[in-house]
Structure 1
């Protein structure tokens, strides 16, 4: 069962993917496949890949995809999103609530894999908005999930996204998603990179 916030994140990611006209998508850090399963039944999508470090999550993903009965080819890869090997040629890469699971020092490896090796025309990244944590009852000295290595406020995320976009020749748009507090923004934030 997913939360309302997570459904809102998935809706925002799906809308961005549909708007860019992608027919092939690589989901990095796909987990159990919440986004992949939505994409697998989309009539526009012709090819999918899911990458995750958790073999258990990928096993659950395979079961979910089997129950869908979709004809869309899905390549399931056990590995790290910081690698990017074998994932060239996709129209879009999606990283939904995943970058915060990396150690901050690993972000440069992710950047190379995603923006240099893979280099899809569209990249969708969502991550928690740390400013919203108080509304969720998360104490200031804690993260939302024990697997998170960092959580950024909107200004920090925007600075990171703009710097990455500038280094690699992408346009960037950052938006609040998953709720809308007048001062604190959304529960999550999304960066849409386009060439």
Structure 2
């Protein structure tokens, strides 16, 4: 189930990026480069950038993507950086993804991420996926348990929608929501996704 859900998340992100028309895409919190590996197969994405704060993850992503520091790839780049600021920013970024990333950020820092990604950069299309806390019991988890020990929080559907609607209203975006994974009629799906389009 976990593998199928992960693949469903990746496919949902790819499908929405393709539909958005985005060409210069940044993967915020790229980890080991799994999403970038999927995206590089599509000619629409003319520039792909992965950003991660973890040096070991960046090294692993570069290895997975066969990137050579001495021979830079003009289309694909992975670098160390934080998306709480815009130090990593490049001209022309029109798509961004935070795939199962936001829940790893301390709540006190969310406003900085919001300001950088939605405010200062004003990226045209942004996707955020995150666990749906309400679904956890269907994974056999106790109420207080989180899906990963590094998760700083996990949102219910109402909490996620409230935060996303606030971000959209403050920065001039339209946001729509999708469920990813099998849907329970009471608690929804395991993963929730928000797609932000700048108005």
What is the TM-score with the length of structure 1 in the denominator? 0.93
- 1:120-148 deviations in whole A, cap 9, x for unaligned? 10000000000110011121111100000
Which of the residues 78, 82, 85 maps onto 2:80? 78
Aligned partners of 1:115 and 1:168 also within 8 Å? yes
1:34 corresponding residue in structure 2: 34
Superposition deviation, residue 83 in structure 1: 1.7
Say which SS state the counterpart of residue 166 (structure 1) adopts: helix
Which of the residues 115, 119, 126 maps onto 1:116? 119
1:23 corresponding residue in structure 2: 23
Aligned partners of 1:94 and 1:125 also within 8 Å? yes
How many angstroms apart in 1 are the aligned matches of 2:54 and 2:182? Answer: 29
Aligned partners of 1:17 and 1:92 also within 8 Å? yes
What is the TM-score with the length of structure 2 in the denominator? 0.92
Aligned partners of 2:175 and 2:195 also within 8 Å? yes
2:70 corresponding residue in structure 1: none
- 1:37-52 equivalence runs, <5 A: 37-52=37-52
- 1:1-195 equivalence runs, <5 A: 3-66=3-66, 73-88=75-90, 89-195=92-198
- Structure 2 segments unaligned to the other structure (5+ residues): 68-72
How many angstroms apart in 1 are the aligned matches of 2:192 and 2:94? Answer: 22
How many angstroms apart in 2 are the aligned matches of 1:77 and 1:92? Answer: 17
The structure 1 segments of at least 4 consecutive aligned residues displaced by more than 4 Å after TM superposition are: none
- 1:45-81 deviations in whole A, cap 9, x for unaligned? 10011011111111111111118xxx76122121222
- Structure 1 segments unaligned to the other structure (5+ residues): none
How many angstroms apart in 2 are the aligned matches of 1:166 and 1:132? Answer: 27
How many angstroms apart in 2 are the aligned matches of 1:101 and 1:5? Answer: 19
Aligned length: 191
How many angstroms apart in 1 are the aligned matches of 2:80 and 2:182? Answer: 32
How many angstroms apart in 2 are the aligned matches of 1:190 and 1:43? Answer: 24
